[in-house]
Amino acid sequence: MYGIQIDKNSIFTITRQLYDQLRNLILNNELKAGTKIPSSRNLSKELKISRIIVVEVYEQLIAEGFLNPRKGAGTFVADGAFLQNNKKDPVRSTSQAINTNKSSTNCFAEISFKIGIPDLSLFPVNKWIKVLKDVYQFAHLSHFGYTNPGGIAELKIKLAEYLLRSKGIRCYPEQVIILAGSSQCILTAAKLVADYSEKIIVEDPSYKKVYELLTSNQLKITPVPVDHQGIQISKIPENKKQLSMIITPSHHFPLGSILPIQRRIKLIEIVRNNQGYIIENDYDSEFKYTGQTVQALQTLDPDRVLHIGTFSETLFPSIRLGYLIVPVNLIAKCSTIVIKNELAVPSLNQLALAIFIEEGHLEKHINQMKKHYLKKRELLYSLLTDTFDNNIEILGDPTGLFLTVSFLNVEWNDKAINKLKEYQVNVDTVANHTIIKGKHKDKLILGFGSLSFKQIEEGINQLKKAVKDILAERV
């Protein structure tokens, strides 16, 4: 009747489906003004749905002016409810799109070497749930109200203690600013130092989303090239009166190097001489597989270095919690930025994390995952070297959840990446993260954190086939 279709397996209720379809029929003038519509009894029988649902929908459409009931005569389409060029029914199109996506997903077994995703299968869910239950049962009523911008005291205290143990950072709890993930931390830190620098120096290459985040918020950047030891000190312009920068000294992304102490000291001297600041983006130093965790750059000069960390890789991405350690003299200014922009994080999640840290679950989980990720890294490393022999070079320090690989005979342009996609392999390239284009075209970034051992093997096997095709097409 009128082309109305009810899908009882849809994610939308039958009431919603009937309402939207009748409404659009009227808006599109497919049910013209003055048309008498079927009785609720007849329509429910025709569509094989409850009459109560039809009555509810009719009443809603009458209330909104689409229908006009006439006593003793029936219900009619009201005048003036036709909208020219009305858009198609969003409910039906969305439902169809969802069904299409589900079916297509089942047809593919793509291996995604996506970066920054941990192995969620080993997260101690039961411990986290227990902590959450305790929080909701015993938390003070104040934690159910609006959150204090910048974080709750309980988490600030526990995080300050944890950072001293893990990274050697000494800070007061007041210096710890809790925000919703690393992006919010980076943007807040950049705004904080913007007054002390005409432009913010960024590594090139560096994580694409970082410099895009800065430029989209009208912050100017100056790219400085990176070599096998990190940012090239000699390329930093020192003729500025004020100068600040954002770098990844503990594990450069995406080339994987650790910034040596000589360059760290030189960077500190540069910002001291130029009244600037360094934003230290430490996204994964907890997962260092040889020796001790690298001490944070912040430990060399807490007055000139802002330190950023996140729990997206150590715990799980949807926790959406990151932290920014600011120098004492910037606490007040940072608080103003946080309050002005209403950068508040839910208190109960913060309280749960504070307890999770206090009970030792965080460090225990990190230690377990280090062993697990090391096995994955060793497998990936051995497969790459066995498969491609001397035709590749694996870059960087054994840290984190990715490997950067330079291919001696392959340029990873769009055509080559499309060839990988034909073999159901999804990868990122270093070239994708360059600011000044034209360099690092030979390098892939292979994230392994979320992949199973079998998927790693399958992925490299498919990568081998794709490379063979790429080289054959060049002959």
Residue 162 sits in a domain of what CATH number? 3.40.640.10
258 in the same domain as 154 = yes
* Residue 4 covered by a domain: no
Whether residue 436 contacts residue 204, with contact meaning beta carbons closer than 8 Å, is answered with yes
Percentages helix, strand, coil for the chain (3-state, rounded to 5) are 50, 15, 40
231 in the same domain as 99 = no
> Tell me, what's the pLDDT at 94?
42
* Residue 1 covered by a domain: no
68 in the same domain as 201 = no
Residue 48 sits in a domain of what CATH number? 1.10.10.10
Tell if the pTM clears 0.85, that is, is over it: no
> Tell me, what's the pLDDT at 11?
86
374 in the same domain as 358 = no
Q: How far apart are CA 110 and CA 174, in angstroms?
A: 46
* Residue 8 covered by a domain: no
Q: Would strands 305-310 and 278-281 be described as parallel, antiparallel, or unpaired?
A: parallel
Task: Single out the residue in 51, 78, 105 at which a domain terminates.
Answer: 105
Q: Report residues of the chain scoring pLDDT below 70.
A: 1, 85-108, 239-241, 475
State the CB neighbour count (10 A cutoff) for residue 36: 12
> Tell me, what's the pLDDT at 292?
82
> Tell me, what's the pLDDT at 291?
83
> Tell me, what's the pLDDT at 252?
96
311 in the same domain as 241 = yes
312 in the same domain as 172 = yes
Q: How far apart are CA 437 and CA 435, in angstroms?
A: 6
> Tell me, what's the pLDDT at 106?
39
Identify the domain containing residue 244 by its residue range. 121-363
- What's the domain count of the chain? 3
Q: What is the DSSP string of 160-185?
A: HHHHHHHH-----GGGEEEESHHHHH
> Tell me, what's the pLDDT at 103?
39
Torsion angle of alpha carbons 282, 286, 292, 294, nearest 10°? 0
383 in the same domain as 289 = no
**For residue range 209-268, what is the model confidence (pLDDT) as tens digits?**
999 999 998 999 999 999 999 999 999 987 666 789 999 999 999 999 999 999 999 999
State the CB neighbour count (10 A cutoff) for residue 300: 16
Task: Single out the residue in 105, 138, 162 at which a domain terminates.
Answer: 105
Residue 400 sits in a domain of what CATH number? 3.90.1150.10
